[in-house]
Chains A and B, each alone.
Chain A
Amino acid sequence: MKLGPLTDTTRFVLFAVIILAMPLWLEPLGGNYPDLLQRFAIYGIFAIGFNILFGLTGYLSFGHAAFLGVGSYAAVWSFKLLTMNALPAIVFGVFFAGILAAAIGFLSLRRTGIYFSILTLAFAQMSYNLAYSVLTPITNGETGLQLSQQDPRIIDSVFIEAGSGLPSTNLFGLKMSGYPGFYFCAVLLIICFYISMRIFRSPFGLMLRGIKSNQNRMRYTGLNTRPYMLTAFVISGMYAGLAGSLLAITDPLAGAERMQWTASGEVVLMTILGGVGTLAGPMLGAGLIKYFENIFSAFNNNVLMEIFSFLPNAVAEIIVPIVGLFVGSGWHLTLGILFMVIVIYLPGGIVEGLSRLAKFAAGERKSSKIAGGNTSPQDQPGE
């Protein structure tokens, strides 16, 4: 196992293969059902985009859920007014999220540090409240925006005879639910990963890292930091808009709760858990959190009893209620502990943990090589 000196091409191919093969390797982990797979890919996009801002520039936005929500609303409106095809929905989702990000970014980026975070949080909560109440004609408030039989669907009405039930989202006829939906999201995720990798390796990425590292030096080197940060903010907002529109494509409704601050917080957790500023970290974090939320939370005492059935009954009966606190509805507790452990011992997130493991493994191999064929590694004290 070596994770450090991978070339970017191998990194990318590896990522693509792992993502596309998710239905295979998630089967034994109990995660192979389309709804969950779609969510892995969608939140992966969200987190990868968030990491372009937070990971590279160090600016911690607490308001990215607003862009997720706008992406969803725009997509549903595209379904209602134009067509059930997924492509226009994506274009509108990304476009409107980008516009909102430009506006919020322009104002919030006047401040740094905690003040920037608070400003983004305030704007996102404002967006949430607007969607919930004032903008009801656009967002349908509390109920959420849904499709209806009476929607005009201008483009579809020209080509397709209206059916009896609600139409479903599609990509030129291919239904965007189930596995096709997942593969659609997965391909977009892989494209997003590729773009993010290019940004990380580009002069633009270098500038963003410069902003994180030393803004003074940037300015006295003749660089205008504001447009760099705004571009990063808008790009990450567009990623969030894409994720939001995909949420609507796989399940065509949009509600204001998608813009709640908890959703903004979640993407922060994902990024930190996986590894801030690393390429694959946000995807790992997003996957882990969604896995916990959906699989771990479904564990109940019966499942636990089965798992611990190898133990004597009396022991199992003591252990199960204790472990039971941490699964099922208590999954937040486990996540919280995991988060604390990672932040305290592995500030670089899961990626740092993995690379330490890889280094450790490489070190072992090297020491056994030095030791030669006759002596085992245990014979080397102090290694």
Chain B
Amino acid sequence: MSDLVLHLDNIQKSFGGLSALSDVNLHVEEGTTHAIIGPNGAGKSTLLNVCIGRLKPDSGHVTFKGQELTGREPHEIAQMGVARVFQTPEIFPEMTLLENVMLPAFSKRDGAFKLNAYSGLAQQGDIRDEAEHILEDVGLADQMLQEAGSLSRGDKRRLELGMCLILRPRLLLLDEPTAGMSRHDTNRTIDLLKKIKSRGMTKVIIEHDMHVVFSLADKVSVLARGEIIAGGKPEDVRENPKVKEAYLGGAH
């Protein structure tokens, strides 16, 4: 087995007696794109929340590159190199796009806290260049000085992706990165994610859109009612009878 980046070991999480995740095991290998699919309410977002420290699992362990993640503060996990794109974009709506991307760049350079109160933002040429570069990557460079709150939903997502990319994370978690996007925007995002992949970034992606899953994923795990019911290469998973049942059965 090649290097493990993310390792979920017997994760259990319930909300007031309602089991959201039971005995979930997941191995994500270095440099791969791992998709998690499953019907609504299967526990996909809960799984990501456990990974980034938003939720603490009732039992089980999350390890990242051999280091324990469970019980750590979200900002510690992020500083270790785990970034996340949320289902509803978490951006800074009152700031310009440029500031939105520069802020994470400071986090990458200066760590979780640094009192940098005297030098002006204007003097941070290298950070600004980097931010402009990232905005070009996600296709938002021409709106750089616009307020982020005024963007369309699809653009907000792309901006958030840029904010995560500038952190140069070792593991990127994406929660439905193309939901609510037009076909054109979806394809642009797929291209962008492929480009990142060629740089060797490991990704875990939650997605409903099978077109996205099959264009990006190396491996797929299927989550249904809080359990992983199948896993493997995308082609194999598609043919798996249990998966068909979970999707179709859930719809009935």
A: which residues have CB within 8 A of B?
198-199, 201-207, 209-210, 212-214, 216-225, 227-228, 231
Contact = CB atoms under 8 A, between A and B. Distances in A.
Contact of B92 (A205, A210, A228, A231): A210
B92 A223 contact: no
A199 B117 CA distance: 5
A288 B103 CA distance: 36
A213 B83 contact: no
B34 interface: no
Given A206-B121, A209-B95, A216 B90 contact: yes
B93 A222 contact: no
B94 A206 contact: no
Given A206-B102, A210-B95, 10 more contacts: A202-B120, A203-B110, A203-B117, A204-B116, A212-B94, A213-B95, A218-B75, A219-B78, A220-B90, A222-B111
Contacts of A202: 116-121
Given A201-B122, A222-B78, A222-B112, A213 B93 contact: yes
B33 to A, nearest CB: 20
A260 B187 CA distance: 61
Given A206-B99, A210-B92, A216-B90, A224 B117 contact: no
Nearest to B118: A198
Interface string B39-82: 00000000000001000000000000000000001111011000
Nearest to B84: A220
A90 to B, nearest CB: 20
Given A207-B106, A213-B95, A221 B118 contact: no
A214 B93 contact: yes
B112 A224 contact: yes
B245 to A, nearest CB: 35
B53 to A, nearest CB: 9
Contacts of A203: 106, 110, 114, 116-117, 119, 121, 124
A227 B75 CA distance: 13
24 contacts: A198-B120, A201-B121, A202-B119, A203-B116, A205-B117, A205-B121, A206-B95, A207-B103, A209-B95, A209-B99, A213-B93, A213-B95, A214-B90, A214-B91, A216-B90, A217-B91, A221-B78, A221-B103, A221-B107, A221-B167, A222-B167, A223-B75, A223-B107, A224-B75
Nearest to A226: B113
A311 B120 CA distance: 56
- Residue of B75, B95, B108 contacting most chain A CB atoms (<10 Å): B75
Contacts of A224: 73, 75, 112-113
Nearest to A199: B117
Contact of A222 (B75, B102, B117, B120): B75
Contacts of B38: none
Nearest to B116: A203
Contacts of B108: 222
Interface of B: 52, 73-76, 78-79, 83-84, 90-95, 99, 102-104, 106-108, 110-122, 124, 163, 167
A223 B113 contact: yes
Nearest to A202: B117
The A interface is mostly helix, strand or loop, or mixed, namely: helix
Contacts of B83: 220-221
Contacts of B117: 198-199, 202-205
Contact of B79 (A204, A205, A222, A225): A222
B74 A213 contact: no
Q: Which residue of A198, A204, A228 has the most chain B CB atoms within 10 A of its CB atom? A: A204
Task: Give 5 nearest A-B pairs by CB, closest first.
Answer: A222-B78, A204-B117, A224-B112, A213-B92, A222-B79
A206 B122 contact: no
Contacts of B121: 201-203, 205-206
A221 B104 CA distance: 6
Contacts of B92: 209-210, 213-214, 217
A222 B107 contact: yes
Contacts of A217: 90-92, 163
Contacts of B167: 221-222
B122 A220 contact: no
Contacts of A207: 103, 106
A220 B82 CA distance: 9
A31 B52 CA distance: 58
Nearest to A219: B74
A225 B75 CA distance: 9
A224 B120 CA distance: 21
Given A203-B124, A206-B99, A210-B103, A219 B75 contact: yes
Contacts of B118: 198, 202
A197 B111 CA distance: 24
A228 B124 contact: no
Contacts of B120: 198, 201-202
B115 A220 contact: no
A108 to B, nearest CB: 19
Nearest to A230: B113
Contacts of A212: 94
